[in-house]
Amino acid sequence: MSTPTDWTNATIVARRVVNARCLVIHVRPDSGQVQPFLPGQFVQLGLPRLDVPPTPEGRVRLVKRSYSLASAPHETEAYELCLALVETGQLTPRLWPLQVGDRLWCDDAPKGHFTLERLPADAPLVCCATGTGIAPFVAMLRAARHAGVSRRFVMIHGVREPSDLAYDDELRAAGCTYIPLCTRAGADWHGLHGRVQVALTRWSEINPELSDLPLDPQHAHVLLCGNPAMIDEVRDLLALRGYTLDTAKAPGTLHFERYW
């Protein structure tokens, strides 16, 4: 792809097509390695806007979107990002055809507050995601395992079809409690059917591994990432169990990151 060079600062160095709706890419900054970051943070990617010309000074105006990092901080060669195709979007339909070696713009450094810094180091984590919202939880799990931390993870991933489970093989082998759910699975799917809420309302019933971990704020923190409707519904559901929202002013046991 031929592009101007005054706005690009990063290159796609790896690409994995999960399915027609989900893509994993690795983006390497021109510096040759990523900036330090915390699991749960995000970077923005950008391409030139198509609806406006450059400024009179020649500065290219970019359309930018934020994407959570799936890579952990020890993976320093590139940022790993899991993208969902938004067919009516201004950016992902243009990111989709980019290949290894193609250029784009990337944030100078990751940012964001959806991290584990405010949580007790030994607290079990119940991580609930929809779609590509699994990315920050993959980063958190990778970082913990790399550091030799034995923190308990329960990874609940709700998607439309089994092929949307972008990190299925990795999570099944990661030594966590992994609970995938599909809303439109066929007869060959032997896992749970339905949304994330199914796993929470049928807590210890669906997995014997959870029999010793009550779903209450005295035993586990819950993190939510993805569809805002899921976040709102799960927040209401968990409020009945005593969970309170974590804010800068009032620490709580329920943490979330909305994806739009």
Residue 201: φ, ψ to 5°: -75, -25
Q: Which of 106, 141, 159 is the last residue of a domain?
A: 106
E-assigned strand segments in 76-199: 79-84, 103-106, 125-130, 153-159, 177-182, 192-193
Do 48 and 91 lie in one domain? The reply is: yes
Do 253 and 193 lie in one domain? The reply is: yes
Do 54 and 131 lie in one domain? The reply is: no
Provide the 3-class DSSP secondary structure of residue 245.
strand
Quote the CA–CA distance of 69 and 133 in Å, as a whole number. 10
What pLDDT score was predicted for residue 54?
85
Quote the CA–CA distance of 169 and 211 in Å, as a whole number. 24
Question: Into how many domains does the chain fold?
Answer: 2
Structure confidence at residue 208 as a pLDDT band (50, 70, 90): confident
pLDDT digit string, tens, across residues 132-142: 999 999 999 99
Do 151 and 201 lie in one domain? The reply is: yes
Q: Is the pLDDT of residue 204 over 90?
A: no
Q: Is the pLDDT of residue 124 over 80?
A: yes
Q: Is the dihedral of CA 121, 126, 132, 138 positive or negative?
A: positive
| 112 in any annotated domain | no
The distance from CA 67 to its chain's CA centroid, rounded to whole angstroms, is: 8
Do 133 and 45 lie in one domain? The reply is: no
Section 152-161 average pLDDT: 98
| 1 in any annotated domain | no
Do 251 and 129 lie in one domain? The reply is: yes
Contact 105, 12 (CB under 8 A): no
| 242 in any annotated domain | yes
* Burial class of residue 68, CB neighbours in 10 A (0-12, 13-18, 19+): buried
Identify the domain containing residue 204 by its residue range.
Answer: 125-258
Do 131 and 254 lie in one domain? The reply is: yes
Structure confidence at residue 195 as a pLDDT band (50, 70, 90): very high
The distance from CA 191 to its chain's CA centroid, rounded to whole angstroms, is: 22
What pLDDT score was predicted for residue 53?
85
Do 94 and 209 lie in one domain? The reply is: no
What pLDDT score was predicted for residue 24?
98
In CATH, what number is assigned to the domain containing residue 31?
A: 2.40.30.10
